Chains A and B, each alone.
Chain A
Amino acid sequence: MTAEAWTVLGGSATGRTHITAGIGCQDAHAWFVGGRTCCLAVADGAGSRPRSAAGSVAAVESAVQTVRAAAASAVPSVEELFDEARARLEALASDEGCDLDEFATTLAVVVITDDATEVGQVGDTIAVVRDEGGALRAIAPAEKFEYANETTFLSGRSWRDHLRVERLASSSLSGVALSTDGLRFKILDDLTEGTPFAPFFEDVFAWFDSDAATPDAVARFIDRLDDQSGDDKTLVVGARRGTGDQQQELYVVNQHVAEWSVDTMPPAPDQGGQMPGAENGHGDETADSSV
């Protein structure tokens, strides 16, 4: 097993059609790295306005918070993370006295410990893993064309039947990437099969090892990408990098509602402060850790 700790970077960008329609960004992402434990989450909110973004933010927040709150020796299973996230949506709906569907969202979560890496997905999210040799593989792609069905959401009645989980040995992995469906035309080689477009992930993981690798650089890249979908775009990438201090990081970023939380920030990048939601905490080691 490699001794290197996981580092995570990622960003979201409002889709072209969402800008035109004036509905903002419903994608959300979050991650947590604590000691040897790491959790990544992305979500695509699809509920009715004005709550469509609240569902995706709550889902990713719940996943990383639950991992963060657990002892390193008792990291929850990905199924438990989905149960928690679902309960969070139910609480939201109950608090606001509205229908659960208002918070409809997809959700993809990766939780990594020394031993196991678990990938869970509900809906048309994209999850790609890279093995030690650099080979790429999509994890449980959503069946887009075979299903007579629509996209399934965490808010749906039968969400558990649609939860796709895969467990892998962490020692076999060198990288993971999560995305919502907005980038599918650009990062998938075959839309029907859901196979990854290898050159994209190769370039991203190679860049990951450079000094330029910062969350806002990810957001800038996907923001300027002419993506064909017009949908909100999100990319979160984790890879083993460096052996330095095991930092605790927690991000929850959603450009639309500008809601985010920070524990300890990664080293301040040169180009910090470019993206909404990313500027507040750079280099601020004392940021309020309450979420």
Chain B
Amino acid sequence: MSDLEARVKEDNPDPRVACALLLDTSSSMHGEPIQELNEGFRVFCDEIKDDPLARKRTEVTVITFGGVARVEIPFTEGRDLEPRTFHANGATPMGAALDLGLNEISAQKQAYKTAGLEYYRPWLFVISDGGPTDGPAFDAAAARVREAEAAKGVSVFGVGVGSGDLAKLSELSTTRQPLLLKGYSFIEMFSWLSASMRVVSNAGTFGSTDAGVAQAEATEQNPLPPPGWATW
């Protein structure tokens, strides 16, 4: 007598969580801050590969804003993510970076739909040690971010470093206050981020539309680890 053994489809694609990291690489980050940020990102790249689901479900893009805002790393699966050395330079065009981040997330979501991939709510994770130097662009971009958040299209996280403008960062979200990094504890912060990606990608809170994702989130809560890297 044999138990039921049936062939199953092995290569349907996993759902994805898109994570856009917006990193302030302006000149004020020069020295220890940018070194610690680079080290933290290296830890993130290592740790994201440790979890069997996070490594294939997490997709990360890095957008830097120092002088200009640009896509430094296009969306890459966790398992293929490689460390990179970022350099501090120039002003803080945070508004341009937010616009880029939203555009990238939106394009990625569209790509998921075209490919028949389901997805978790994307993350927009913004780190800055100053205030935006592109005021009007920032105001418009911040409004866009709040709108996307209200439509449950994205989860927004703001982290201030040193004299980072928490008031400006708080304009990005109506549901989540920005946190202030304890010293330059980028390693702890990035370690927390990889642990959070692990929590998300092991959860069942994904769907094929924003509304479907919100629906799944309503029935299953998955608390993130406590951010021990933040000061209170």
Contact = CB atoms under 8 A, between A and B. Distances in A.
The finding on whether chains A and B are genuine partners in a shared complex, rather than unrelated, reads yes
Interface of A: 15, 17-18, 20-21, 23, 26, 46-49, 52, 144-145, 147-151, 184-192, 197, 199-200, 203-204, 207, 210-213, 217-218, 220-221, 225, 228-231, 270-271
Contacts, number: 107
A241 B9 CA distance: 27
Given A17-B204, A21-B220, A229-B204, A204 B12 contact: no
28 contacts: A15-B204, A18-B204, A21-B203, A21-B220, A21-B221, A48-B218, A144-B208, A145-B209, A148-B211, A150-B215, A185-B12, A186-B12, A189-B9, A190-B116, A197-B8, A199-B6, A199-B8, A200-B7, A200-B9, A204-B4, A207-B2, A210-B1, A212-B3, A212-B4, A217-B3, A221-B5, A228-B14, A229-B204
* Residue among A18, A21, A212 with most chain B CB within 10 A: A21
A192 B208 CA distance: 10
Q: How large is the interface on B (under 10, 10 to 19, 20 to 34, 35 or more residues)?
A: 20 to 34
A210 B211 CA distance: 43
A200 B6 contact: yes
B215 A212 contact: no
Given A203-B6, A212-B2, A17 B202 contact: yes
Interface in B103-120: 113, 116, 118
Q: Which 7 A-B pairs have the closest CB atoms?
A: A203-B6, A17-B204, A192-B116, A186-B8, A199-B7, A150-B211, A221-B4
Contacts of A144: 118, 208, 212
B8 A225 contact: yes
B204 A186 contact: no
A47 B219 CA distance: 7
Contacts of B14: 228
Nearest to B214: A150
Interface of B: 1-9, 12, 14, 113, 116, 118, 202-204, 207-209, 211-212, 214-215, 218-222
B116 A145 contact: yes
Nearest to B4: A221
A200 B124 CA distance: 39
A151 B212 contact: yes
A17 B220 CA distance: 9
A271 B218 CA distance: 38
Given A150-B211, A221-B3, A221-B6, A228 B218 contact: no
